[in-house]
């Protein structure tokens, strides 16, 4: 029997919609009043158990509960985001125990969606949100829920993270002048635009009257951002400003008169709300078609009027009667200079004008890259800056109340900015690191981090690499035939996955608007032309709808796509055979060829503009192969990306990360995504991305362990103290461009919580590796004389047990052995501060002993006979191909089984003890490999290395504020250890 949604369900939604902006109140009474009927517990339970997760009422309940869960109001007597807080919410709602259980099951306690490092700040936004209008935020939230169909958890996360940002800005009506600078760190293609759009919405509601959004350096990105803000935030009324869109003269000037979403009435509407007192209109000073331009005769688009001329502009009597201006500007010299020229005549108003600057891709162009050796050491004022950095800092200088928030997925350049230069853009007030959003497909979904293959079989189910990654070994110079074959397979994969999308449109009633392939082999435009010719030649010779083409596609389907879909379709339909799929190949081919040749070169603004119709993801379906370089590597969003062919080498981590355009959201087709990536003897780009992920995750873990405030209300760490201790697992892969790293200075550093892998060893064949085994590894493992099976529970609630040989060693003895261990020279900036911390914590008694845990795998690379240990199991660690200096990290099953020991807890067969750390030891096979990852030569003691992973005891870091013993400075101070950047 089909479930019938009750008539009172919308009333229940409206109850929680009304309550969301205030404290919870008795639910039953309000529901009776709103619905006109008494709703029993049995009826409510039936609704909760049968309504879909995206039912609008369930969504609104989640949103309200999330807001109450995360409310930091100091008058509340329970801790945010805890079971205690939720119990107090249920008590205020006056719901029965049965309803409490149902709510707990369907709407779990909301987890903090971001990690925040912050200075002490003065909270103001919670009260402002209650006292001032919320028109623009409420409209944006409603748009995300009803038009874009975001789920409640994503909206709640956005609400919380945008509040975290806005409340750290200065209150617009504050009497004292205060500037704030912050940084929001997201993931590539993960929704940063939605986040800063939400920040702008709340800022306008709160009183900010000039919003400057700085996009990347290309016009297409600026236009994309302008359109999204126009459609989702600024809205139809503010775009029209009372004009009649049916008037031909008006239509001629409109941005969107041919835009399908505009014609379909999908742009947000604010309606009568804009006529209410205290609700401002938003004036656009840039448009979808045009960046910032000056008016003739020195006139300006910017006008700031006072209702009461006796009071400052930011007095509430003036501020909430003044329109807000929004400018979306690309980071080019000309438009920024025009904006500055228009601002300068408002000298008196600028001192009182609340301004918000949002800097998207803030590590690009914004960071000053001049050599500090050339600066005037006595005056930051006289410092010669790079152009865009100078123009942004000039805006901050003349707009005294300007607030600056940078957004990036690659923060390394930003944290190397000089924190002592008050004019520069160092995020001195806060750094907010967003957590991975649900459904996001990033580097982790293409790699097997935290997964060892000592006990598990690598299958399409268990291995992301096996499911999604296909190596490229062919080369135009040395193996041209192999290169063409690999490119042919990648194109076949794109057509085949397009056919599967067409099949799912029929069987699953799901639409796949876009289907794209990216070809990214070089940054040189001449080479793009040659590459496009190769792709085009293969395309026209592929005969996709012929018997010959079908035979080739069937082979790929049977060997690759069908088994991966069976393992990873996540409920999406899977053709039972190639014959069932065959009719949809013609449909996909017809869609691809609907506008002729599908191959487009995307390597300049001019080309993008010339191909605007073919590349307009908003206006029409795009089923195309895009060939390009820089324009495809940063900023330009490629929708529907399913197959990527990537061969370009990049020299910096942040450039390589931005080149990963295959990251993002792939609803309904994650199992179809394929990455064809260069993995030859010269450069293994897959390993490079893996190394980069380790660097990035290490940085996020740094932020997480230092976040928050101590028991005295002081920050455990301020942004200026964030350790820019960025690991470099590949020597050629620098964290960012060298001219953005002038200010990196490192002294010493502690660590807290979880395991730290220290796997970067001397080059293969170095005598130090043999010494590591004989002088450290074997003596250390002799202490492991007891076998224990320990339980683990993973984040996804997977449980099991792992076997270890366990033993204890006194901390002083352990340090004696550790002093003899040698790491790779390029790893000194990581290991030296860590060893310093261990020495200090041992000498003052915070670390008393170590548990040596030697994992005992069931599947091994082999075994070797070691003096003092006998026959010893050796495991495989993929992969240490030159120039990589490290091994892949420890298995999370192993670390989860051991973490309780470092917390001082009892585990099976080992009573807990304070001051006890854990060192996890692997004996790893260090033989060289061929291009396919096959080990070369015979396994012997001289090619076995000991790998060490550390979990320091909780007692070693009793006060998180004491963890950091160094900072980032331009000038070297006595005792500082400067990072070697060569």
Averaged pLDDT for residues 576-597: 94
**What is the predicted pLDDT for the residue at 919?**
95
Averaged pLDDT for residues 315-334: 92
- 415 in Cβ contact with 362 (< 8 Å): no
Residues 6+ apart with CB under 8 A from 913: 848, 849, 904
CA-CA distances (angstroms) from residue 869 to 872, 925, 940, 946?
A: 7, 17, 15, 13
d(CA 385, CA 854): 53
d(CA 893, CA 308): 66
Residue 973 has pLDDT above 60, yes or no: no
Averaged pLDDT for residues 508-529: 83
State which of 63-67, 736-740, 820-824 shows the largest mean pLDDT: 820-824
- Of 546, 565, 428, 450, give the one whose Cα is nearest residue 507: 565
**What is the predicted pLDDT for the residue at 218?**
78
Tokens 């979808």 correspond to 288
d(CA 383, CA 372): 9
Q: Which is higher by pLDDT, 198 or 241?
A: 198
d(CA 161, CA 734): 30
CA dihedral 495, 499, 502, 508 (to 10 degrees): -130
Of the CA atoms within 13 Å of residue 511, those in its CB half-sphere come to 3
The single-letter DSSP state of residue 294 is: P
Q: How confident is the model at residue 898 (pLDDT cuts 50, 70, 90)?
A: very high
Q: How confident is the model at residue 339 (pLDDT cuts 50, 70, 90)?
A: very high
Residue 268 has pLDDT above 90, yes or no: yes
Q: Which residues of 409-446 are buried (b: 16+ CB within 10 A; e: fewer)?
A: bbbbbbbbbbbbbebbbbbbbbbbbbbebeebbbbbbb
Residue 485 has pLDDT above 80, yes or no: yes
- Of 652, 849, 855, 864, give the one whose Cα is nearest residue 737: 652
State which of 27-41, 557-571, 712-726, 922-936 shows the largest mean pLDDT: 557-571
d(CA 602, CA 78): 54
Cα-trace Rg, the chain: 30
Helix-helix angle 56-70:83-93, to 10 degrees? 120
Residues 6+ apart with CB under 8 A from 850: 808, 809, 811, 814, 916, 917, 918, 919
- 276 in Cβ contact with 318 (< 8 Å): no
Residue 822 has pLDDT above 80, yes or no: yes
H-type alpha helices, 371-440: 387-398, 412-415
3-state secondary structure string, 248-293?
A: HHHHHHCCCCCCHHHHCCCCCCCHHHHHCCCCCCEEECCCCCCCCC
**What is the predicted pLDDT for the residue at 629?**
62
Averaged pLDDT for residues 330-349: 88
Lowest mean pLDDT among 24-38, 63-77, 424-438, 740-754: 740-754
pLDDT tens string 167-196: 999 999 999 999 999 988 887 777 788 999
- Of 574, 577, 593, give the one whose Cα is nearest residue 536: 593
- Of 372, 399, 398, give the one whose Cα is nearest residue 385: 372
Residue 814 has pLDDT above 90, yes or no: yes
- Of 209, 118, 176, 215, give the one whose Cα is nearest residue 400: 176
Between β-strands 870-876 and 916-925, what pairing exists: parallel, antiparallel or unpaired?
parallel
Residues 6+ apart with CB under 8 A from 844: none
pLDDT tens string 860-879: 778 889 988 888 888 876 55
Q: End-to-end distance of the chain based on CA atoms, in angstroms?
A: 71
Residue 960 has pLDDT above 90, yes or no: no
Q: Percent of the chain beyond pLDDT 90?
A: 33
Q: DSSP of 816-855, one letter per residue? A: HHHTT----GGGHHHHHHHHHHHHHHHHTTS--EEEEEEE
Q: How confident is the model at residue 743 (pLDDT cuts 50, 70, 90)?
A: very low
**What is the predicted pLDDT for the residue at 741?**
44
CA-CA distances (angstroms) from residue 676 to 7, 573, 857, 949?
A: 52, 25, 32, 32
State which of 49-53, 78-82, 153-157, 238-242 shows the largest mean pLDDT: 238-242
CA-CA distances (angstroms) from residue 696 to 193, 430, 766?
A: 20, 18, 29
The pair of three-digit structure tokens given for residue 577, joined into one six-digit string = 């055979």
pLDDT tens string 385-397: 788 888 999 999 9
* Neighbour-count burial of 7, counting CB atoms closer than 10 A to its CB (0-12 exposed, 13-18 middle, 19+ buried): exposed
3-state secondary structure string, 714-743?
A: CECCCHHHCCCCCCCCCCCCECCCHHHCCC
Strands across the sheet with 469-472, in order? Answer: 469-472, 674-678, 641-646, 514-520, 622-628, 599-602
**What is the predicted pLDDT for the residue at 976?**
35
Helix-helix angle 9-19:41-50, to 10 degrees? 90
Residues paired with residue 851 on neighbouring β-strands, in sequence order: 808, 918
Calculate the CA 157 to chain-centre distance. Answer: 14
Is the pTM for the entire model greater than 0.75? Answer: no
Q: Which is higher by pLDDT, 370 or 568?
A: 568
Residue 220 has pLDDT above 80, yes or no: no
**What is the predicted pLDDT for the residue at 404?**
94
The H or E element spanning position 353 is: none
Residues paired with residue 293 on neighbouring β-strands, in sequence order: none
pLDDT tens string 775-805: 999 999 999 999 999 999 887 678 888 999 9
């Amino acid at each position: 029997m089909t479930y019938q949604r009750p008539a009172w369900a919308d009333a229940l939604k409206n109850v929680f919609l009304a309550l969301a902006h205030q404290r919870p109140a008795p639910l039953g009474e309000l529901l009776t009043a709103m619905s006109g009927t008494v709703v029993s517990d049995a009826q409510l339970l039936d609704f909760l158990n049968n309504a879909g997760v995206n039912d609008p009422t369930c969504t609104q309940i989640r949103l309200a509960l999330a807001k109450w869960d995360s409310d930091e109001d100091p008058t509340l007597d329970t801790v945010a985001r805890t079971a205690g807080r939720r119990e107090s919410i249920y008590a205020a709602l006056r719901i029965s125990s049965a309803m409490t259980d149902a709510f707990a099951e369907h709407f779990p306690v909301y987890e903090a969606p971001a990690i925040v490092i912050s200075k002490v700040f003065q909270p103001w936004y919670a009260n402002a949100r209650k006292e001032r209008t919320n028109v623009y935020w409420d409209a944006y939230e409603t748009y995300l829920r009803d038009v874009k169909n975001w789920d409640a958890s994503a909206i709640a996360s956005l609400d919380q993270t945008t509040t975290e940002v806005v409340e750290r800005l200065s209150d617009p009506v504050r009497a004292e002048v205060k500037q704030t600078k912050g940084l929001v760190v997201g993931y590539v293609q993960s929704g940063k635009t939605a986040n800063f759009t939400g920040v702008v919405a709340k800022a306008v509601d709160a009183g900010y009257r000039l919003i400057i959004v700085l996009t990347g350096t290309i016009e297409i990105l600026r236009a994309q951002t302008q359109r999204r803000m126009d459609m989702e935030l600024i809205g139809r009324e503010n775009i029209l400003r009372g004009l009649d869109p049916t008037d031909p003269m008006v239509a001629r000037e409109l941005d969107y008169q041919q835009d399908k979403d505009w014609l379909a009435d999908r742009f947000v509407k604010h309606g009568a709300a804009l006529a209410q007192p205290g609700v401002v209109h938003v004036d656009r000073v840039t448009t979808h078609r045009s960046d910032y331009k000056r008016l003739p005769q020195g006139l300006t688009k910017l006008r700031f009027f006072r209702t009461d001329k006796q009071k400052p502009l930011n007095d509430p009597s003036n501020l909430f009667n003044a329109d807000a201006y929004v400018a979306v500007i690309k980071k080019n010299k000309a438009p920024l200079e025009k904006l500055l020229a228009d601002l300068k005549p408002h000298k008196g108003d600028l001192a009182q004008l609340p301004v918000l600057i949002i800097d998207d891709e803030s590590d690009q162009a914004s960071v000053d890259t001049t050599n500090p050796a050339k600066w005037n050491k006595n005056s930051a004022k006289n410092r010669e800056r790079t152009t865009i950095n100078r123009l942004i800092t000039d805006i901050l200088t003349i707009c005294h109340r300007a607030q600056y928030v940078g957004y990036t997925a690659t923060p390394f350049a930003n944290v190397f900015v000089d924190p002592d230069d008050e004019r520069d853009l160092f995020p001195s007030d806060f750094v907010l690191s967003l957590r991975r959003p649900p459904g996001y497909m990033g580097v982790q979904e293409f790699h097997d981090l935290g997964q060892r293959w000592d006990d598990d079989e690598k299958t399409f189910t268990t291995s992301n690499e096996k499911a999604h990654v296909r190596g490229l070994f062919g080369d135009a110079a040395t193996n041209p035939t192999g290169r063409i074959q690999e490119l042919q397979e990648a194109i076949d994969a794109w057509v085949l996955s397009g056919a599967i999308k067409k099949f799912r449109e029929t069987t699953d009633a799901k639409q796949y608007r876009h289907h794209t392939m990216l070809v990214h082999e070089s940054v040189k435009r001449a080479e793009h032309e040659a590459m496009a010719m190769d792709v085009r030649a293969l395309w026209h010779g592929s005969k996709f709808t012929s018997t010959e083409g079908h035979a080739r596609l069937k082979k790929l389907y049977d060997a690759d796509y069908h088994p991966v879909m069976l393992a990873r379709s996540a409920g999406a339909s899977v053709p039972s055979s190639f014959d069932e799929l065959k009719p949809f190949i013609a449909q996909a081919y017809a869609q691809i060829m609907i506008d002729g040749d599908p191959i487009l070169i995307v390597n300049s603004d001019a080309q993008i503009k010339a191909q605007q119709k073919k590349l307009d993801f908003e206006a029409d379906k795009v089923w195309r192969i895009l060939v390009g370089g820089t324009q495809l590597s940063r900023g330009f969003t490629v929708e529907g990306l399913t197959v990527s062919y990537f061969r370009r080498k990049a020299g910096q981590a942040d450039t390589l990360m931005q080149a990963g355009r295959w990251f993002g959201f792939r609803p309904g087709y994650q199992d179809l995504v394929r990455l064809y990536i260069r993995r030859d003897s010269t450069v293994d780009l897959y390993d490079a991305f893996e190394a980069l992920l380790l660097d990035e995750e290490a940085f996020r873990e740094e932020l997480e362990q230092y976040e928050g405030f101590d028991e005295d209300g002081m920050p455990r760490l301020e942004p200026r103290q964030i350790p820019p201790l960025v690991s470099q697992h590949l020597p050629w892969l620098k964290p960012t461009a060298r001219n953005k790293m002038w200010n990196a200075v490192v002294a010493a550093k502690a660590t807290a919580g979880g395991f730290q892998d220290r796997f970067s060893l001397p080059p293969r064949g170095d005598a130090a590796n043999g010494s590591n085994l004989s002088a450290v590894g074997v003596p250390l493992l002799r202490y492991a004389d007891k076998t224990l099976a320990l339980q683990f529970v993973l984040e996804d609630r997977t449980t099991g047990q792992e076997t270890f040989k366990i033993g204890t060693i006194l901390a002083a003895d352990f340090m004696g052995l550790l002093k003899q261990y040698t790491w790779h020279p390029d790893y000194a900036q990581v290991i030296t501060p860590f060893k310093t911390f261990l020495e200090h914590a041992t000498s003052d008694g915070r670390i008393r002993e170590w548990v040596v845990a030697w994992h005992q795998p069931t599947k091994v690379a082999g075994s070797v006979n070691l003096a003092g240990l006998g026959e010893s199991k050796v495991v495989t660690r993929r992969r240490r191909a030159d120039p990589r200096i490290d091994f892949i990290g420890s298995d999370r099953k192993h670390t989860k089984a051991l973490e309780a020991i470092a917390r001082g807890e009892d585990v099976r067969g080992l009573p807990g003890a304070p001051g006890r750390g854990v060192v996890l030891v692997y004996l790893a096979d260090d033989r060289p490999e061929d291009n396919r990852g096959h080990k070369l030569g015979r396994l012997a003691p001289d090619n076995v290395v000991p790998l060490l992973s550390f979990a320091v005891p909780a007692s070693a870091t009793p006060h998180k504020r004491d963890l950091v013993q160094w900072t980032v400075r331009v000038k070297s101070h006595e005792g500082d250890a400067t990072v070697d950047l060569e």
